[in-house]
Amino acid sequence: YTGKYWNSKETGTYYSLASGQPLFLSDAKFDSGCGWPSFFEPIDKDAIIYRSDDAHGMKRIEILDSKSGSHLGHVFNDGPPPTGLRYCLNSDAMVFVPLGEDPKNYGIGVD
């Protein structure tokens, strides 16, 4: 597997690299076995835009950052309880900020 966050177990928040908005808490992260950072729910449902993606002969749902419109990954209906969803994220679309750290130290909220 590849990607910066696929195997991360650290406690904190995953932010959008493009917009800086918080997307997922580490408490919602789980090992899906797919090699991508996977979460069962976003922090705020309004942080995500859902769009049909029929590329490569597959039917899936693309997820986008609601503030920037940037691609984050895809969501599938084979996740764990309580939602049954698996949000598979591209590590390059996120910035992780450990619990108790200032997001500004990671470029979040800095113009």
> Which amino acids are annotated catalytic?
88
Strand order in the sheet with 29-30: 29-30, 38-39, 86-89, 71-76, 60-65, 48-53
Tokens of 81: 């309880």
